[in-house]
Amino acid sequence: MGKLRHTVAVVDDDASIRRSVGRLLNAYRFAAVEYASAEAFLAQYERTDAACLVLDIDLGGGISGIELQRRLKESGSNIPVIFITALEDRRLQAEAVRAGCIAYLQKPFAGSDLIGAISKALGL
């Protein structure tokens, strides 16, 4: 098997989703780094080489996914964001799109949709 291509950060408060997405990414030769919260991601952000962020919108408490994306943009980060969510909320979807996300995927989503969005985000 070849070298891993890029690191993708996965931020989701659901451990089973993080593991599933991480396995999918590894199967497609991406290195997955998993975080249970926006705060955990922010604590490591300066030390990570993540090229893309797969981000749940509703992280249960604390900083939301949309707020994390805002903070990253305000700090000058241009890391591409792919939102994943179990929520059916057109207002949230519109807000995420306005904020510049690469994709907005409703759970459960097809693995090929996520891989396609990551490939698009990274120009692969």
Counting DSSP H helices and E strands in the chain, the numbers are 5, 5
SS3 8: strand
Domain spanning 7-122 has what CATH number?
3.40.50.2300
Give bridge partners of residue 56 from the DSSP assignment. 84
For residue 86 the two structure tokens come to 């179990």
Shortest CA distance to 9 belongs to which of 123, 118, 120? 118
Query: What's the confidence (pLDDT) of residue 96?
Result: 84
Task: Determine the Cα–Cα distance for residues 31 and 3; give it in Å rounded to an integer.
Answer: 10
What size, in residues, is the chain? 124
pLDDT, tens digit, 9 for 90 and up, residues 55-94: 999 998 889 999 999 999 999 999 999 999 998 888 888 8
> What is the pLDDT confidence band of residue 2, given thresholds at 50, 70 and 90?
low
Q: Is the pLDDT of residue 46 over 90?
A: no
Residue scoring higher pLDDT (97 or 13)? 13
Give bridge partners of residue 85 from the DSSP assignment. 106
pTM of the model: 0.91
